Amino acid sequence: MFIVLLHYVQPLSAVEQHLEAHRAYLDAHYAAGHFLASGAQVPRVGGVILARVGERAALDAILAEDPFQRAGVAQYQVIEFQPSKFAPGAETLFAQACVAAS
């Protein structure tokens, strides 16, 4: 499982020009089962994506498709982790990621 931190490197006006395409990109990867959650950082200096993708190389390929990446408006920090503790009920959300990591 991965936490992806997006950091905007261009003014918000430049970021917003690519927001619709970025949201379509997110929707496609939710549909493919790659993303579990995403949203803007507060304050709005970037975003966060919680991803479940088998290998880092696969995630890197997915991130390379992001319109924010292609337009050069964001940089990415990727943190890989293996979930081992869960809030009650959350284990089903993370089950596929835990099986893939085994």
CA pair distance 15, 72, nearest whole angstrom: 9
Is residue 49 packed enough to be buried (19+ CB in 10 Å), middle (13-18) or exposed (0-12)? buried
Confidence of residue 85 (pLDDT cuts 50, 70, 90): confident
Per-domain residue ranges for the chain?
A: 2-101
pTM of the model: 0.88
Q: Looking at the domain that runs over 2-101, which CATH code has it been given?
A: 3.30.70.1060
* pLDDT, position 101: 42
Render pLDDT for 1-40 as a digit per residue (tens, 0 to 9): 999 999 999 999 999 999 999 999 999 999 999 999 999 9
- Half-sphere CA count of 66, side-chain side, radius 13 A: 23
Q: pLDDT tens digits for 52-74? A: 998 999 999 999 999 999 999 99
Mean pLDDT of 71-85: 94
| Tokens encoding 76 | 């990415």
φ/ψ of residue 97, rounded to 5: -65, -40
